[in-house]
Structure 1
Amino acid sequence: MTDDSTLSRRGLLRLTAGAAGVAALPNLLTPTPASASGPAYVDDLAAPAIAPNILADDVYPIGLFWPPPRKQTTEFRYEQIANCGINVVSGGNDMVNMPANTKMLQMAAHAGLRALPIDNRITHATPCPGWENAVRQTVAEYQAYPAFAGFLVHDEPNPIHYPRLRMITDLLAATAPDKLGFINLVPFYTTPQDGAYQEFLRRYVEQIDPSVVSYDHYPLLTDNTIRPTFFVNHRRIREAGLRSGRPTWVYVNTVQHGVMKQPTQAELGWQVNVALAYGCKGIQYFTYWTPENRPDHFFHEALIRKSGCPSAVYGWAWELNRCHLQPVGRELKHLVSHAAVHANEATLPFGTERFTAAGSDVLSATSGSAVVLGEFRSEPVNNTRWLFVANRSYTAAANARLTIKPEVDSVGTFVATSATYQPTLLIGTPAGQAFDVTIPPGGGKLFRLALTPPA
């Protein structure tokens, strides 16, 4: 979060790991006139850097923040995490040093999970005589544990810390190139900051050279409104990732705290499916264990209650992760996000792009309910395209008709249970064929479209 009335991982990290010097976004950026510039369709992909294992393999990263506390770091608790379909555990809660992290890494390995621990020797590393050897020694300690996937280095850093963080992440990459030096960014919440936020992202990518561009944005408020910058934040992060050839990750909210509401099952899925349509290659839950005894905010029920019992959100996340997010995410993880546009909306959300036939490789027209269309292709480009359709609404089902271009030979609907594509019924004539899509509130569906090979 970026205002003093809400608590984020930044605040939790500051209280647990002693993170210092992190300012809220209004202090990071000078507001500029709102801008909607920047491509919605991107064809020139920058060459990617060498990727850590967590980004390079075929498992879609589904992570958590605020793991079980030390007293609850048991085989049972980590099997419970894995059973939910979560595969990445980040540090936090009171898990912020080697003694605690040792047990976390052991339990994570037992459950087949990967871990991004917090260690103050990394987070607070300051260039001075001998600092490189100290960091290398810390990395060596963690390398002994199979679950170790990298470090959660910093959360929502102020740009004044970029030079120091760059030195840390460069040293981590040189010491353990298969591990991730993970940094998460602040979002922006007022529309006049759009232009400044684009400059903020440019500086971040250029000055940090991160392996992944990650951020958080919790759009659903207790007054039942949506933050006006939710979709444009997704757009700016997507553009930053594409221009630099890096995958993007996002945190989604699971728990009422401050002005953020407790999501319903459909609202939890909606956050995830909008992120998929915008090309996100990793989803993390804020939070998993419910924070308690906080001096600033009361947290209601995350996936695991303060008592240690699973809440209804755990069950929703279990179904979402295992039956939808992981199988769909595997399909999309190594594809390129070619388009992220809105269709069938009379008034577009701030900063978003409307669907046009000229910008799509596969669709010539749309009608019906409002949807968000994510179009994907492989790299290098071949004759296959993928289309992810997210319901714009989390309160009503979407019924949309998508008309395909003549060069599309066939359409397949992804079936998550079998990880296969089944033929999709096409209606109309070959010159104007279409298919109908019905999506539940907050849901999303994936399609694969085959193009006629060039002569």
Structure 2
Amino acid sequence: MTNPTRKSGALSRRTLLGIAAGAAGASLLPASAFASTARVGAVVPLAGSPTLLTDAEFPIGFFWPPPRRQSTQARYDEIADAGFTLVLGGNDVVQKNASQKILPFAQAAGLRVLPVDDRINQCVPKPGFENDLRAVLEEYSAFPAFAGFRIDDEPVPTEYPRYRMITDVLAAAAPDKLSHFNLVPAYDPAADLRYREFISRYVEQVDPTFVSFDHYPLLKDGTTRPTFFANHQRIREAGLAAGLPTWVYIQSVDHGIMKRPTFAELAWQINMGLAYGCKGIQYFTYWTPGDADFVFGEALIKKDGCQSQVYVDARTINRTYLQPVGRQLKHLKSEKVFHALESPLPLGAVGFASAQSTVLNAVAGTTPVVMGELSQLGGDARRWVLVANRSFKANASVTLTVKPGVAAVSLFDPATSAYGPVPLNGGAFSVSLAPGMAKLYLLAPA
């Protein structure tokens, strides 16, 4: 099956909002507005898109906030101190009173919020439903920290038509607010074709402004799920084909057969997501759930409210690495993703080939790496390469040789948010990486 495409000449919601912001909602749109045109390779969202997708801040969010009894300014300051920028509703922080209570705390801490309110999520389209949705939206829009709504986690396709009608109304009334959905992962290697069809149906029928998914790869027996890279690749392909940014949830709590991640395993999940072009990172979870359906261990905040080692590790990664590197990557286009020095390749991965790379001639070494090549729109000939350690257990060391058209290489320093020159020896430079870590390089043309 090919990547999702749209009918030529029709309007997507994103295009429609650019010419008709403030329209009254789905019931007032022409039938032709529910088909849309592909923007293959688009990276920077269109004007009128949600602020979370268009501004310079890289979204670092999480599921499962502090419970109601812990909804205090101190708790939201603690969230911000860990380097997060975004809070998603959940736990028992749902509905009007609980959701609107946290918005001033979030604002004071410099955070944005995607609350949960069943007046949005459970709305059943009927005569006058647009006015009901806009009334709820107006309530929340009085709070500066409000960034949109978290509408559903892992929605089922039978709900897509209802969600499309809801989000069309919200997008027309407030195009700067995000409607957040998160897609189920593919854990079955035999389900690749079905999963591509599933993503295609979601993009076509819901017409989202971004695509979020989760995939938790780290298992207690020391193995990783074989579908991890295939899942990233399919979401990446769908996002590029539809011109949509992609976000991913990473595993940050032990539950079921999944282990509690170490520092290197957190960083590894993040860097694999960045290498595959993700423009937002979300943690599952922040507060440790007490759900009886699963036995949860320790997330960033334990059930007793104390910080765990995962909090300490996430704080370091978010503040010293992900925030500055994410800002560099947010509005770049993911052109290529290569796995180098790895055999056999994992399911869904593409091996490095000089002929396929825009800027690299060769990769030498004995330790596998994953490389994401990125560019800007508008004919800019510069390229960025994120080189990520394929392993979260061992150091990696490789030598990259650039193509003749590359005149200079510089390395991004997250501590200063500046690029420094990298010496070339016969067109080659060395890269050393700690377990799970990555480095961002800028390759400038002659």
1:108-123 matches, within 5 Å, as: 108-123=106-121
Question: What whole-Å deviation, never above 9, does each CA across 1:120-163 have from its counterpart, x for those lacking one?
Answer: 01110111122111111110100000000000011111111110
Query: Counterpart of 1:24?
Result: none
Kept in 1, the 8 Å contact 2:40–2:243? The answer is no
Task: Look up the match of 1:331.
Answer: 328
1:325-378 Cα offsets, whole Å, 9 max, x none, are 010000000000001110110210011101111111110110111000000000
Aligned-partner residue type, residue 307 of structure 1: D
2:160: which partner in 1? 162
Quote the residue 1:355 is aligned against. Answer: 352
2: CA distance, partners of 1:351 / 1:252: 19
Between the aligned partners of 1:46 and 1:258, the Cα distance in structure 2 is 38
Corresponding position: 1:69 with 2:70: no
Q: Name the counterpart of 2:436.
A: 442
Q: Match for residue 247 of structure 1?
A: 245
Q: What does the per-residue CA deviation read over 1:295-338, in whole Å, with 9 as the maximum and x for residues that have no partner?
A: 21111110001111110111101110011001000000000000
Q: Over aligned residue pairs, what C-alpha RMSD do you find? A: 1.1
Mapping 1:32-111, distance limit 5 Å: 44-46=40-42, 48-49=45-46, 50-111=48-109
Using structure 2 for the length normalisation, give the TM-score: 0.89
User: d(CA) in 2 for partners of 1:129 and 1:382?
Assistant: 50
1:308-327 mapped onto 2 (5 Å cutoff): 308-327=305-324
Unaligned runs of 5+ in 2: 1-38
SS in 1 for 2:158: helix
TM-score scaled by length of structure 1: 0.88
Q: 1:150 aligns with which of 130, 148, 151?
A: 148
Counterpart amino acid of 1:435?
F
In structure 2, distance between residues paired with 1:313 and 1:200: 33
Question: 2:338 aligned with 1:344, yes or no?
Answer: no
Q: CA–CA distance in 2 between the matches of 1:290 and 1:296?
A: 13
For 1:215 and 1:263, locate their aligned partners in 2 and report how far apart those are by CA, in whole Å.
19
Q: 1:135 corresponds to which residue?
A: 133
1:208 aligns with 2:202: no
Question: Secondary structure at the residue paired with 1:89?
Answer: strand
Name the CA distance, whole Å, in 2 between partners of 1:290 and 1:346.
38
Quote the Cα distance in structure 2 between the aligned partners of 1:233 and 1:329: 21
Map 1:356-371 to 2 at 5 A.
Answer: 356-368=353-365, 369-371=367-369
Q: Give, in angstroms, the shift of residue 383 of structure 1.
A: 2.0
Aligned to 2:400: 402
Q: Which amino acid aligns with 1:66?
A: W
**Deviation at residue 110 of structure 1 after TM alignment:** 1.0
Q: Which residue of 2 aligns with 1:300?
A: 297
- Figure out how many residues of one structure are paired with residues of the other and give that number: 405
Cα displacement string for residues 397-445 of structure 1 (whole angstroms, at most 9, x for unaligned residues): 00011110010000000001110111112112xxxx1110000000010
| Matching of residues 172-191 of structure 1 within 5 Å | 172-191=170-189
- What percentage of residue pairs aligned between the two structures are identical? 55
Q: Alpha-carbon deviation of 1:117?
A: 0.3
Q: Distance in 2 between matches of 1:427 and 1:194?
A: 43
Q: Secondary structure at the match of 1:426?
A: coil
Q: Distance in 2 between matches of 1:142 and 1:285?
A: 24
Whether the aligned pair in 1 keeps the contact of 2:56 and 2:330 (CA below 8 Å) is yes
1:83: Cα distance to partner? 0.4
1:451 paired to 2:445? yes
User: What code does the residue aligned with 1:413 have?
Assistant: L
Instruction: Answer whether contact 2:40 2:242 (CA < 8 A) is retained.
Output: no
Which runs of structure 1 show a deviation greater than 4 angstroms over 4 or more consecutive aligned residues?
46-49
Look up the SS of the partner of 2:278 in the other structure.
Answer: coil
